[in-house]
Amino acid sequence: MLTIHPYMNFNGNCLEAFEFYKSVFGGEFPYVGFFKDMPQDAGHPLPEHLKNMVMHMSLPICENNTLMGSDVAEEFGQKAVFGNNINLMISVDTKAEADAIWAKLGVGGTVTMPLEDAFWGDYFGALIDKFGINWMINAPTGK
């Protein structure tokens, strides 16, 4: 089943924002991951001030919708700018579905993260479509 979830980027206050959204919508965070939890590249150590920034977190707000978010950092070539700090996250059941949507949605667009098996265990990619909309596509790797 295809679902679309808003994915928001923040400049260091993702956790604070999600605590606020939790107070509005209720629920619990099924996952909160920090940059310090990512596999590290010995050649490019993670700056200390980034370690406790949010890499990814989520908050289900109803049966079929989940708010998702992360902090971004200029050290990674990113900065959240109000107005373009929201991505649409497409979740599908299989890699084949992800590939099919990726092929169509990416026509004339720009890949920002290739669609591939990710370290957290899913098949994931991100792109900006030809109209400037940020999309993320995610599928379980086992299907």
- Domain assignments of the chain as residue spans, ordered by start: 1-38+48-86, 92-131+138-143
Number of H helices, E strands in the chain: 2, 8
- Please check the confidence at residue 22 and state whether its pLDDT lies above 80: yes
Q: What is the rounded average pLDDT of the residues 38-52?
A: 87
Length of the chain: 143
Q: What is the CATH number of domain 1-38+48-86?
A: 3.30.720
Angstrom distance (rounded) from CA 90 to CA 2:
7
User: Residues with Cβ < 8 Å from 82, sequence gap 6 or more?
Assistant: none
Closest by CA to 94, choosing from 46, 140, 136, is 140
Q: In this predicted model, what pLDDT tens digit does every residue of 78-124 receive, in sequence order?
A: 888 877 788 899 999 999 999 999 999 899 999 999 999 999 899 99
